[in-house]
Amino acid sequence: MEKLPIDDENSAARRLSQEEAPIYEALKRFRRMRIVPFDVPGHKHGRGNPELVELLGEKCVGIDVNSMKPLDNLCHPVSVIREAEELAAEAFHANHAFLMVGGTTSAVQAMVLSCCKKGDKIILPRNVHRSVINALVLCGAKPVYVNPDVDKNLGISLGMRVSQVEQAIISHPDAVAVLVNNPTYYGICSDLRTIVKLAHDHGMKVLADEAHGTHLYFGENMPVSAMDAGADMSSVSMHKSGGSLTQSSLLLIGSNMNEGHVRQIINLTQTTSGSYLLLSSLDISRRNLALRGRESFAKVIEIADYARGEINAIGGYYAFSRELINGNSIYDFDSTKLSVHTLEIGLAGIEVYDILRDEYDIQIEFGDIGNILAYLSIGDRRQEVERLVSALAEVKRCYQKDKAGMLTQEYMDPYVVTTPQESFYAEKESLPLEATEGRVCSEFVMCYPPGIPILAPGEMITKGIIEYILYAKEKGCSMTGPEDADIEYLNVLKHV
């Protein structure tokens, strides 16, 4: 019987190659063996669940296995998972890389929890993903928000200006970290190198949410990646633009972070039963990007530029790109992002999103009040983009209307009263949405995607926010977060 290799004294010393995929190769060897499973999972290579086999196939369920010595253990990797981490770190220019099976949400939370404890301050833009504020609920750190500039024509929030970050650092010299979106969902990048230097000069760590920036490590003429800019930690959604399975991500760290401490933090919340389907997909996708990423993402940019030209030629739409760069709040732009402003044809982005799905069988990544985002990556081809362009032309011809009375602003400055943790766990009461003006919210309200909170725990509810929520609901935005799924009621603090 063929034996699976386990960790030995020589494994750490041998030179790994980006052409290898250690987890995937170990699973292939495992499949050739006739192992009798008296462990979990209970479907026993699919024999106990034929419908699951029919859905996923024998190959897939056959490698849905539990941690065992020959396949290593995600919580304490010493062999094939450890090798996969080392290869990922090399590919992404990091000191170490952790394979994450709880999505980039778990990676973002591990970043914050690794640097912040109760009472610590962290400087961050308010247009962060909810996972960041969730982490503040868990650890009790205090957010110091840098309110980003807003493009009034597009209605979107931009990056953090260096001067804004500097002022926040001067005003809060006891802050422990600065968090930066790199890039935002819309492709906007801050001046990350300068922010890193500024933070490091003041003894602060820099954390980067690179959920939408996997390709920055492999493409040419792209915005700088977090690791290359000198950031201390970065969360990378391999499953978004990197091609791995949904829910698989990477957490990267620089030389200033303690690998053992970070792994301890990860193990506080990450599963002890890591999916080998997700782990092997990370392994294979890293190899694919390391070997072919540069060429692949050059094609993505070519397709995106072609799409922008065709969409802008329709008239009424605005597919924006690098012309927005101002060297400050838009220091750089991720050209793979195909964001399209729709308000000039009298339709909210979410309305165009719904029409494309319901009438043209085209699924866009998201639609908000004024924009849609078509997420382009290594699996896209020109013919699908041409279908999108044709559909957008028809949507304009068939559905265009007067834009009078439409909301244009996507971002509103928050008024923070208490910390996310204090308000989330405080005594609360439920009130009708329209009756909450002037009260302090104790839960989240957001459109998903992108998952950036309109309201977060501890923030004052204003008339403008109530009007925005009602408008977004009316237009069909997918609203999530509150205890009341219909968002007719909100939980607010009782005594504030």
Where b means 16+ CB within 10 Å and e means fewer, 52-65 reads ebeeeeeeebebbb
CB atoms near residue 121 (< 10 Å): 18
φ, ψ (nearest 5 deg) of residue 244: -85, 175
The pLDDT of residue 4: 47
The pLDDT of residue 448: 78
- Residue the block writes with tokens 């833009």: 125
The pLDDT of residue 142: 96
In angstroms, the CA 450 to CA 441 distance is 20
φ, ψ (nearest 5 deg) of residue 454: -75, -40
In angstroms, the CA 463 to CA 195 distance is 34
Distances (CA, A) of 368 to 68, 112, 361, 411: 45, 27, 19, 11
The pLDDT of residue 5: 47
The pLDDT of residue 1: 37
In angstroms, the CA 168 to CA 187 distance is 24
| Structural domains in the chain plus CATH codes | 22-62 (no CATH), 72-289 (3.40.640.10), 293-399 (3.90.1150.10), 420-493 (3.90.105.10)
The pLDDT of residue 410: 62
pLDDT in tens, the chain (496 residues): 344 444 444 444 578 999 999 999 999 998 888 888 888 899 998 899 999 999 999 999 999 998 888 899 999 999 999 999 999 999 999 999 999 999 999 999 999 999 999 999 999 999 999 999 999 999 999 999 998 888 988 989 899 999 999 999 999 999 999 999 999 999 999 999 999 999 999 999 999 999 999 999 998 999 999 999 999 999 999 999 999 999 999 999 999 999 999 999 999 999 999 999 999 999 999 999 999 999 999 999 999 999 999 999 999 999 999 999 999 999 999 999 999 999 999 999 999 999 999 999 999 999 999 999 999 999 999 999 999 999 999 999 999 999 888 877 666 778 899 999 999 999 999 999 999 999 999 999 988 778 788 999 999 999 999 998 998 888 888 888 999 999 999 999 997 5
The pLDDT of residue 3: 43
The candidate with the shortest Cα–Cα distance to 285, out of 11, 84, 59, 4, is 84
Tokens read off for 244: 């791995």
CB atoms near residue 444 (< 10 Å): 22
Per-residue pLDDT of 374-387, as tens digits, reads 999 999 999 999 99
The pLDDT of residue 276: 96
Per-residue pLDDT of 355-373, as tens digits, reads 999 999 999 999 999 999 9
Position 147: which residue type?
N
Quick check: 122 and 141 in contact, CB under 8 A? Answer: yes
